[in-house]
A and B are shown apart, each in its own frame.
Chain A
């Protein structure tokens, strides 16, 4: 009798244990499914992040290139100004003595153009004339790189 009761006890315990284990497996399975969904979402977020970072790198590179290009163009404007004063050993002082009125007129014209260059550099929008200038006679010779975007030096 005692022996039978002992086996019945073991059987019932095993049954409850098995039931508990199955219940736990089901619970684990639910959690694993939820984890998989979260992992997929995290991977998608990471992919998105990497794509955005690559886009940012491209933008940074592009901005750097444009700034370097601008610095180069402005440097050329400055060199051109130097050439205007000293081209072929030109002496502006002697020229001004010889052709006072004409040099005065040229100086005032260049001064007005240089003034406009400062306005543009400070953010003043370009006029249609400045935008459409393509010939030497149409450009602002003091700063074509910033005043005349469509002018290609020839």
Chain B
């Protein structure tokens, strides 16, 4: 009877609740941002059929080789637009990098 009573009182116990929680933070990448560019200004010279001789003479007078790399007005326009597109892409990529750093590394 004693044994029976002991067994009956012990078989439906309340289970102890266990909560496991282990948070390990990932190491931060912390890469340095690339150094901003410092570009050199370049000089554009416009040559027409009328001023070509004068332009080359001026170059010679300044001790510069009388040779020029040429672009038509249309190609110059395209070059300007290409540079603007590269600049826009650079800005977007740079800002994107800032946003990622802000979101994941600033706490």
A: number of interface residues (CB 8 Å): 62
B80 touches A121 (CB 8 A): no
Contacts from A to B (Cβ < 8 Å):
9-10, 12-14, 16-17, 20-21, 24, 27-28, 31-32, 34-35, 38-39, 41-42, 45, 59-60, 63, 66-67, 70-71, 74-75, 77-78, 81-82, 85, 91-93, 96-97, 100, 103-104, 107-108, 110-112, 114-115, 117-125, 142-143, 146
Residues of B within 8 A of A100 (CB): 46, 48, 50-51
User: Which of chain B's residues have a CB closer than 8 A to the CB of A32?
Assistant: 14
**B68 at interface (Cβ–Cβ under 8 A)?**
no
Task: Decide if A122 touches B36 in the complex (CB within 8 Å).
Answer: yes
Q: A20-B6, A38-B19 are in contact. Are A111 and B37 (CB under 8 A)?
A: no
Is B57 in contact with chain A by the CB < 8 A criterion?
no
How far, in whole Å, are A82 and B84 apart by their CA atoms in the complex?
A: 10
B1 & A13 in contact (Cβ 8 Å cutoff): yes
Cβ of B87 and Cβ of A92 under 8 Å apart? no
Q: Does B70 contact A (CB under 8 A)?
A: no
Whether A119 lies near B5 (C-beta < 8 A) is no
Contact B77 A92, beta carbon cutoff 8 Å? yes
Q: Which of B14, B15, B80, B91 is A81 in contact with, Cβ under 8 Å? A: B80
User: Could you tell me which B residues sit within 8 Å of A by CB distance?
Assistant: 1-2, 5-6, 8-10, 13-17, 19, 21, 33-46, 48, 50-51, 72-74, 76-77, 80-81, 83-88, 90-92, 94-96, 99, 102-103
User: B15 — which chain A residues lie within 8 A by C-beta?
Assistant: 31
Chain A, residue nearest B95 (CB): A70
List chain B residues, Cβ under 8 A from A92: 73, 76-77
**Interface on chain A toward B: helix, strand, loop, or mixed SS?**
helix
Find the B residue at minimum CB distance from A27.
Answer: B13
How far does the Cβ of B46 sit from chain A's closest Cβ, in whole Å?
Answer: 4
CB distance from B78 to the nearest CB of A (A): 10
Q: Are A16 and B81 in contact (CB under 8 A)?
A: no
Contact A107 B17 (CB under 8 A): no
Partner of B50, one of A97, A142, A143: A97
Within 8 Å by CB of B9, from A24, A39, A60, lies: A24
List, sorted by A's number, 7 A–B pairs whose CB atoms are closer than 8 Å.
A32-B14, A35-B17, A66-B95, A96-B48, A100-B50, A114-B87, A121-B87
